[in-house]
Amino acid sequence: MEEGLADQAELAIGDVALVSAVRAQVRDHGARWRLSAEVTDRLVQLTHEMLGPGTLPGRLRLVRDDRHVTVTAEYAPREWEQFRRWRAQHPLGEDTWRGLMRQLADDWRQERSAAGVRLWARVTVIPAGPAG
């Protein structure tokens, strides 16, 4: 389910049964990267929102640098249409979903890509401090 280096991970998505496993892996990466609980919680919730209904095939990517963790989900056109339908039916509504993304991420975008549409969100890193 996961391919990764120390500062990045790529997670398979596309099965609703994997949603909780993907969220757990994001939480594990937060601990491994020694991120604060607040940042890790934001990343887990961002991931959940970027997975949409959890049934769309694709890859979710986490990349950490010295200042940020960037979460990217990319969808082919057909899957993007399904994601848009899910988002329009989101319990909070589409505008509130966008507002939630703005609250959770320090920066986020929805943009066209060669494969279709990419959701991209960045969170500023706050280290949790020394292990021990």
CATH number for 114? 3.30.565.10
**Closest by Cα among 69, 71, 70, 33 to 50:** 71
Q: What is the pLDDT of residues 23-73, one digit of tens each?
A: 888 999 999 999 999 999 999 999 988 888 777 877 789 999 888 999 999
Decide if 131 is inside a domain.
Answer: no
Decide if 86 is inside a domain.
Answer: yes
**Closest by Cα among 57, 55, 32 to 43:** 32
Token pair of 89, please?
Answer: 């039916």
Decide if 46 is inside a domain.
Answer: yes
Domain count along the chain: 1
Range of the domain at 52: 2-124
Q: How confident is residue 10, by pLDDT bands cut at 50, 70 and 90?
A: confident
Residues linked to residue 73 through DSSP beta bridges, in sequence order: 60, 119
